[in-house]
Structure 1
Amino acid sequence: EKADNGDLLFGTIDSWLVWKLSGKEAHITDYTNASRTLMFNIHDLKWDKELLDILEVPESMLPEVKPSSEVYAHTVDYHFFGQNVPIAGIAGDQQAALFGQACFDKGDVKNTYGTGGFMLMNTGEEAVKSDSGLLTTIAYGIDCKVNYALEGSIFVSGSAIQWLRDGLRMI
């Protein structure tokens, strides 16, 4: 009931940040973050009504999904010394790394090493289905068009090295 009345919202970290920075004016996310909820259809670029029904999540509580780059809102003036700063870009962490490392063309690949290890390959405008267990995801969206990526993740690569060093004193 609260969701249907607009009194209850659900989103990702980015949607919460935009919500707070905009003074509760913009409840939005981008394609990359929406796709990570697994409730977003990456082919139709819409919330998946069938999954929402199964999970009993009212669409009215979800953020509006936008491209990764446009002016979404402005900050309220008390956040930035009296200035209304445009909020103009959102992307998931690995997708932002792919974009930030200039992997704009089909076949471009990046690796990120930290606590985990993450490899993304830009597959262009085609959502390639992996036969090897890689995740098909949205790389970024600009002007209501998306580029897709394949992602491989090792969630304990850096932390395993740290455990070998600190826990077992092997390295």
Structure 2
Amino acid sequence: NRWEDYIKKNTGLVVDAYFSGTKIKSILDNVEGAREKADRGELLFGTVDTWLVWKLTNGKVHVTDYTNASRTMLYNIKELKWDDKILEELNIPKSMLPEVRNCSEVYGDTNLGGKGGVRVPIAGMAGDQQAALFGQTCFEKREAKNTYGTGCILLMNTG
């Protein structure tokens, strides 16, 4: 089908309930008041990294990185942006999505302890499997690792 081909070509993923895009659509379509809140800018989406940065900055920074965005089924991996056609088809407001940024930059500072509390720069994020590639010391081109858990995931350092 053309729609599934478009998603695979532009996101690298197959249409599946496993990915965030279909889950967001289901929430917006089936949870009372969710779509209205999203349309008013009162409901945001994010992956685990987004939530962590959001909480650490006391709700000041709504971001994700390319690795996490690429696993949502909403992110165009060729153009490096949220895919407007997919968002329109799934009826998901772009305004609820986090800003996509590099995995190694300063996103903001922690706000631990409130006013006058500890401020520490938040300067990096990565998805669990992508981070595990480096955690398992695959630093050189063509080194790979396989993780057995919820899924069976093979990743390779391509340089």
Q: Tell me which residue corresponds to 2:41.
A: 6
Match of 2:109, as an amino acid? H
Q: Distance in 1 between the 2:96 and 2:103 partners?
A: 20
- Structure 1 unaligned residues grouped into runs of 5+: 125-171
- Structure 2 unaligned residues grouped into runs of 5+: 1-35
Closer, same or farther: CA 110–24 of 1 in aligned 2, 3 Å: same
Shift of 1:8: 1.5
Task: Name the count of aligned residue pairs.
Answer: 123
Structure (1 or 2) with the greater helix fraction: 2
| Per-residue CA distance 1:105-161 (angstroms, 9 max, x = gap) | 43221123445442211234xxxxxxxxxxxxxxxxxxxxxxxxxxxxxxxxxxxxx
> Within the alignment, does 1:106 sit opposite 2:141 as a pair?
yes
Q: Distance in 1 between the 2:150 and 2:85 partners?
A: 35
Give the greater-gyration-radius structure (CA).
1
> Within the alignment, does 1:85 sit opposite 2:156 as a pair?
no
- What SS class does the counterpart of residue 65 from structure 1 fall into? strand
Shift of 1:18: 0.8
Fraction of identical pairs, as percent? 64
- What SS class does the counterpart of residue 37 from structure 2 fall into? coil
Q: Distance in 2 between the 1:4 and 1:74 partners?
A: 28
> Within the alignment, does 1:58 sit opposite 2:96 as a pair?
no
State the TM-score, normalized to the length of structure 2. 0.69
- What SS class does the counterpart of residue 147 from structure 2 fall into? strand
Match of 1:82, as an amino acid? G
- Structure 1 stretches of 4+ with a deviation exceeding 6 A read none
Structure (1 or 2) with the greater strand fraction: 1
Pick aligned residue for 1:28 from 59, 63, 80: 63
Pick aligned residue for 1:69 from 85, 93, 104: 104
State the TM-score, normalized to the length of structure 1. 0.65
Coordinate RMSD, CA, aligned: 2.0
5 Å-filtered alignment, 1:41-56, equals 41-56=76-91
